[in-house]
Amino acid sequence: MSTLKDKQLTDITVEDLLISSEKVAHVQLNNPLEHALLVLVKSGYSAVPVLDPSYKLVGTIGKTVILNQILGLERFEFEKLSSMRVEEVMYTDIPCLSKNDTFLDALKAVIDSPFVCVSDAEGYFDGILTRRAILKQVSRDIYTKRQLTEK
Residues of this chain that interact with ligand AMP (CB under 6 A) are 19, 23-25, 45-48, 114-115, 128, 130, 132
Sheet holding 47-51, edge to edge: 27-28, 47-51, 57-62
Q: Which is nearer to ligand AMP, 77 or 96 (CB)?
A: 96
Per DSSP, helices labelled H in 20-102 are 33-43, 63-69, 80-83, 86-89
Q: Which is nearer to ligand AMP, 55 or 78 (CB)?
A: 55
Q: Is 135 helix (H, G, I), strand (E, B) or coil?
A: helix
What is the closest distance, in whole angstroms, from the C-beta atom of residue 33 to ligand AMP in the complex?
Answer: 17
Closer CB to ligand AMP, 24 or 50, in the complex:
24
Least separation in angstroms between CB 118 and ligand AMP:
12
Q: Which amino acid would we find at residue 92?
A: T
**Nearest approach, Cβ of residue 132 and ligand AMP (Å):** 3
Least distance between ligand AMP and beta carbon 131 (Å):
6
Residues 6+ apart with CB under 8 A from 43: 25
Count of all residues that appear for the chain in the document? 151
Nearer to ligand AMP, 49 or 84 (CB): 49
Angstrom distance (rounded) from CA 70 to CA 68: 6
